[in-house]
Amino acid sequence: MGNTITEKILAAHCSRDSVKPGELINAEIDVIMCHDVTTTPAIDMLAEKGLSKVAYPERVVIMPDHFVPNKDIKSAEMVARIRRWAREQNIEKFYDLGRHGVCHALLPEQGHVKPGTTIICGDSHTSTHGALGAFSTGIGSTDLAAALATGELWFKVPETMLFRLSGKLGKGVYAKDVILEIIRRIGVDGALYKTMEFTGELIEALSVESRMTICNMAIEAGGKSGIINPDQKTTDYVKARTDEPFEIYQSDPDAEYCQIIEIDVSNLEPLVAFPHLPSNGQPVSQIPDIPVDQAYLGSCTNGRIEDLRVAAEILKGKKVARNTRMIVVPATTEIWKQANREGLLDIFMNAGATVSTPTCGACLGGHMGILAAGERCISSTNRNFVGRMGSPKSEVYLGSPATVAASAVEGKIADPRKYLQEKP
């Protein structure tokens, strides 16, 4: 019996020929990403244990993003402390204001994600980076401290679920709709502590950015990680961003999976996940009139340049509905600049939207778009739990960037297909 890509990567990082699901291993970590929220507790733990030095500062990448720009004195002091610590530890890969961005968009953009590597971060949506053929997973601050101190971390080798996706997406249907359909089918605990491996003709057709959207939300089905076998699109993307060598692993044809799920996306339509779970997906054609107070476009799930282009296509020459506000947040500084060069930011602002500097703020209910009691938001983010974006009496609906833009125009949850041309 062969091995999955996840098993091969983990075996290579613990000096084993092979590993099997359920085994406990200690794996070498190639990239340790730190953001503002979970890093300070890890620094505290290192200090409490008398550990004054990070084992491999060259493996650490720091990207403050959750409360950036700092929203208050507490968040400012938090990031200031991380800046001081980074200088003390000689950590050079620090993306401060002006170079900043949402960490799961910035890390691959800047060439820090390579196939065959292991990546951890104190953030659940670290699964994003599996789109480039890496084993990438979110951890807590305790494990983050351990990895910083040793360069290694323990794992239970996860079982792998295979999602074989066939067919071609129709007009107005995107990667976000695909992953919402998967989560709708298996539930928020359907892949608990499992790797979700995605394959098939649909995956082959998707851009690297769209693949990131799918892997990003593996955690919303309980997954330990999401992963896609690298192909030419992967290597082209990575080589355009780094000269560092990497090794490609692929799942064997006879690899063993705990479950194989086949999905034909040919008849899939835009989906909207209703409060308060990402699994509450409903086809947009079956949704009654639901007014929205806010339309939010951004996040590590859907704040990339292709997402902004789709939304701009819908919004060009139109206006955001009178009783709805729209917030657009390009995921990184480079994406912001690219959108500006392409005239997308003008389209958004001419439509009546506001454009923010990159930040995670509104997605986690931190700042830059908080909801009041009784308000509804249609959002391109990844979670719609109670109180996720503000008041526990508010409601968050999840959709693709196209659905968000169409809903902003109509002031209610809307079908984006009426605003788009047929795909070639």
Q: What is the DSSP string of 239-254?
A: HTT-----------TT
- Residue 307: name the closest of 317, 318, 315, 297 by CA: 297
Q: CATH 3.30.499.10 spans which residues of the chain? A: 5-263, 273-419
C-alpha distances out from residue 310 to 228, 249, 262, 329, 417, Å: 24, 33, 28, 14, 11
DSSP 8-state secondary structure symbol assigned to residue 418? G
The fold of 5-263 is Aconitase; domain 3 (3.30.499)
pTM: 0.95
User: Sheet containing 194-199: which strands, arranged edge to edge?
Assistant: 225-228, 194-199, 159-166, 259-264
Sign of the C-alpha dihedral computed for residues 253, 254, 255 and 256 taken in this order: positive
pLDDT tens track of the chain, all 424 residues?
A: 899 999 999 999 999 999 999 999 999 999 999 999 999 999 999 999 999 899 999 999 999 999 999 999 999 999 999 999 999 999 999 999 999 999 999 999 999 999 999 999 999 999 999 999 999 999 999 999 999 999 999 999 999 999 999 999 999 999 999 999 999 999 999 999 999 999 999 999 999 999 999 999 999 999 999 999 999 999 999 999 999 999 999 999 999 999 999 999 999 999 999 999 999 999 999 999 999 999 999 999 999 999 999 999 999 999 999 999 999 999 999 999 999 999 999 999 999 999 999 999 888 888 999 999 999 999 999 999 999 999 999 999 999 999 999 999 999 999 999 998 765 5
Please give the Cα distance from 103 to 301 (Å, whole number): 11
Predicted confidence (pLDDT) per residue in 36-53, tens digit:
999 999 999 999 999 989
DSSP 8-state secondary structure symbol assigned to residue 287? -
Phi, psi of 184 (to 5 degrees): -60, -40
Please give the Cα distance from 185 to 102 (Å, whole number): 29
Q: Quick one: pLDDT at residue 255?
A: 97
Q: Quick one: pLDDT at residue 243?
A: 96
Q: Quick one: pLDDT at residue 422?
A: 63
Predicted confidence (pLDDT) per residue in 234-290, tens digit:
999 999 999 999 999 999 999 999 999 999 999 999 999 999 999 999 999 999 999
CATH number of 273-419: 3.30.499.10
Q: How far is CA 61 from the centre of its chain?
A: 17
Residues 64 and 94: beta-carbon distance below 8 Å? no
Label residue 144 exposed, middle or buried (CB < 10 Å: 0-12, 13-18, 19+): buried
Please give the Cα distance from 121 to 115 (Å, whole number): 17
